[in-house]
Amino acid sequence: MEEIGVSGEQPERIAILTTGGTIAMQQDGATGGAVPMLGATDFRSALPADLPELYAEELVNLPSSHFTLETVRQIRERVAVLVERSDVAGVVVTHGTDTLEETAYLLDVTVPGDKPLVLTGAMRTASDVGYEGYANLAAAVRVAAAPQARGWGGVVVLNDEIHAARYVTKIHTLSPATFQSPAWGPVGRVEGNRVIVGQRPERRVLPWRGLEPRVALLKLTVGVEADLLEAAGERGVRGIVIEGLGGGRVPPWWIPVIERTMAQGVWVVIASRCPAGWVWDAYGYPGGYRTLNELGCLFAEGLNGQKARIKLMVTLAAADSAADVIELWRSA
């Protein structure tokens, strides 16, 4: 563990937890591509002097596509410890952008308290012209220290925008403006050294007993057979999130397979493959909201498929009974 910038005089400081990602990457002669290299000390020394007192440590230094559920669990556990400290006002996690939204949402939905939980990253490496990592990190620290960000829970700060963990998603493979909240827009902005609040994201926290790993995510496409759903059921999953069509609809031939899968004790959550919007419709034909509700499916509401999967993993690990699953799911 690397500890830097610690001052006994400052009662409250911002804790930075580094985990790798492009924000930590530089061109590497041996591999011919960018790999994670920058650590906590590099970040600290690059930040402007007018920021609050900082404490920084490295948890891992990996591309986020290499994270396992255990890595994500460790990030959550470490953040939960850091926010408990009376000398920490807020936490910033530097993270690869590929899976950043899932970690952001996990922190949002499981780490209690009103200290800001801020995730940031970069789309360009430190060897690229226009590397935006230090600017994003400085903005993230300002948000973590802002009294007006207290109670926001998990937020993602990149490109001077602040997005609620619940609604943000990575929408572009390369653009520095990749993080957007298609349904709601940003909840605030960082302008210079000022943090401007636009809206207050809603936040609900679930009890934490870890992540149930046996949860699958399936995406529906036109005319697709239900064999993948069948196969997932046969492999002993405990939960399946289906990214349905439009408002969460499935083809009629999926209905008996969903019914059979649920009869085996598998929880089925319906999300939408649309980038924005709730799962609901008023249709009378088979496969719409009415059918799936009658089958006992849970609904992702405004969560996208990958975040609904995280929520189902948290819910299944925390629940002691079927009634618990339903109650917990609907409570957050």
d(CA 30, CA 98) in angstroms, rounded, equals 24
One-letter amino acid identity for 77? Answer: E
Whole-number minimum distance, CB 99 to ligand ASP, in Å? 6
CB closer to ligand ASP out of 122 and 325:
122
22 in active site: yes
Residue 28 is a binding residue for ligand ASP (CB under 6 A): no
Strand spans (E) along the chain: 13-20, 25-28, 33-36, 54-62, 88-94, 117-120, 154-158, 161-164, 169-170, 179-180, 188-191, 194-197, 215-219, 239-244, 267-272, 298-299
d(CA 119, CA 91) in angstroms, rounded, equals 8
d(CA 91, CA 15) in angstroms, rounded, equals 5
The CA-CA-CA angle for residues 237, 329, 178, to 5°, reads 85
Residue 56 is a binding residue for ligand ASP (CB under 6 A): no
- Owner of token pair 């997005």: 163
Whole-number minimum distance, CB 155 to ligand ASP, in Å? 17
Whole-number minimum distance, CB 102 to ligand ASP, in Å? 11
Strand pairing category for 13-20 and 298-299: unpaired
Residue 272 is a binding residue for ligand ASP (CB under 6 A): no
Interface pick for ligand ASP out of 16, 38, 56, 63 (rule CB under 6 A):
63
Stretch that binds ligand ASP, among 94-102, 200-208, 217-225, 252-260 (CB under 6 A): 94-102
Task: Find the residue with minimal CB distance to ligand ASP.
Answer: 96
Q: Are 266 and 295 in contact (CB under 8 A)?
A: no
- DSSP code of 52? P
Ranges within 109-138 binding ligand ASP (CB under 6 A): 121, 123
CB closer to ligand ASP out of 21 and 305:
21
CB closer to ligand ASP out of 101 and 301:
101
Whole-number minimum distance, CB 178 to ligand ASP, in Å? 8
Residue 98 is a binding residue for ligand ASP (CB under 6 A): yes
Q: How many residues touch ligand ASP (CB under 6 A)? A: 10
Q: How far is CA 194 from CA 15, 167, 190, 241, in A?
A: 19, 23, 6, 39
Annotated catalytic sites, by residue? 22
Would you tell me which residues interact with ligand ASP (CB under 6 A)? 21-22, 63-65, 96-98, 121, 123
